[in-house]
Amino acid sequence: MRLTGRNASVARMETSGLVAVIRADSADQLVDVCAALRDGGVDVSEITMTTPGALEAIHRATEKLGKDCLIGVGSVLDAETARAAILAGAQYVVAPTLNLDVIAMAHRYDKPIIPGALTPTEIITAWSAGADLVKVFPANLFGPQYFKDVLAPMPQLKLTPTGGVDLTTAGDWLKAGAACLGVGSSLVKKDLIKSKDWAGLTKLAKQFVDVVKQARGA
């Protein structure tokens, strides 16, 4: 059966294994950033609302890159922001916290919602409320073993870590049961963006893709 709507987007995230979390000082170069990541094999990017001009950047990125990339919005704190980002073109919504109104708004537009949670109670509450994936944040506090411990009694969960994911730990997170990985500054390096070193960003993206393949035994 062919997946459609938000189910297709979630499947794309899981298949990719990587979500680039982009926190930039300016929106000017975000299309180039997303394109460079795509060229390296990372075709799922999350533009955070903490970036100045984030909504316009999301609009430009989805307009220019089309189906080549899955562009989402991150750092969403309320339903109004989720709606504005979706109308600007965001294809999925990520939040640092659990907000039931944000979940409802994303699903109203048939977009995946990935709320943040930390404790087992918060995680299962998010999942039961309809989360398509649950972002364990900040994941670096506990490490990959925490995923193993949480998934042991609740194997139905789809978890993704944000915080503490880099080239040395990415494989460990996947082996611990992560559905995909949220990767921020260790992939989307500000010095590469500042110097417009798109080739360097593409090369780094390829390294992360290789780690994912290796961890999955591909």
CB 159 within 8 A of CB 133: yes
CA-to-CA distance for 14 and 165, rounded, in angstroms? 16
Contact 117, 125 (CB under 8 A): yes
Q: For tokens 């994911």, name the residue.
A: 165
CB neighbours of 216 closer than 8 A, spacing ≥ 6? 17, 174
**Catalytic residue chosen out of the listed positions 111, 135, 175, 206:** 135
Residue 46 appears among annotated catalytic residues:
yes
Q: What are the strands, taking DSSP E only, across the chain?
A: 18-22, 44-48, 70-74, 93-94, 113-114, 116-117, 134-136, 159-161, 181-183
> Is the CB of residue 191 less than 8 Å from the CB of residue 169?
no
Which is catalytic among the residues 46, 67, 80, 158? 46
End-to-end CA distance of the chain: 24
What pairs with residue 182 in β-bridges? 19, 162
The Cα 185–Cα 41 span in angstroms is: 17
Catalytic annotation on 158?
A: no
Active site residues: 46, 135
